[in-house]
Structure 1
Amino acid sequence: MLLRLGSLIFAFPVLILLVLYGIEMSAISDCTQLGGIYNFETAACGSEAIEQTSYYTRHSGLVNGMMLLSVVGALAMSLGMLIKGMANNKART
């Protein structure tokens, strides 16, 4: 149970971040193909040059929170493996 839950908690934050990043990259690609310049502050296509910032800089709370949740999932998986291993070891003796 803990192993499965930990696996889900470990994987979902990363998948969510990848989807959100992919959506933004798709909007940027569409904008540049139309000959515009993507404005990261307004999330709109424009014509004036603006400073480009990384995804992490703009969404640091989201990225940090998701990575922390992923670490919690990894710890839950590890604990689940330890508990499962100890239960299997007791059954053998």
Structure 2
Amino acid sequence: MLRLGLILLVVPALLLMGGYFYDLSLADACLDQGGSWNYQAAECDAAGADHPFVPFMVRHPLIVNGSMLLSVVGLLICMAGLYRRR
């Protein structure tokens, strides 16, 4: 039970951070090339039009909320696993 809790606690957070940093690296590469990153379409606009910043949470609410929910469930399972007598 404790192993399942630790997996649910750690893995969703790592996947969320991986997705965030991948998205951040795409935007950074576009800016390095002199373009403007269109957050809604997830593409680089080389024409130079300014696009507003849209946070990762707004663009991917199901991924963020789902991974945080799984991490909280993992924490609760860890607590129950540690509390239970062996």
TM-score, length-scaled by structure 1: 0.86
8 Å CA contact 2:13, 2:68 repeated in 1? yes
Q: What residue in structure 2 maps to residue 69 of structure 1?
A: 70
Q: Which residue of 2 aligns with 1:3?
A: 2
1:36 alignment partner in structure 2: 35
Which protein is bigger by CA-based radius of gyration? 1
Match of residue 13 from structure 1: 12
Runs of at least 4 residues of structure 1 off by over 4 A? none
Q: Percent identity?
A: 35
Pairs aligned (count): 84
TM-score by length of 2: 0.93
Q: Can you give the 5+ residue segments of structure 2 that lack an aligned partner in the other structure?
A: none
- Please provide the CA RMSD for this pair: 0.8
- Structure with greater helix share of residues: 1
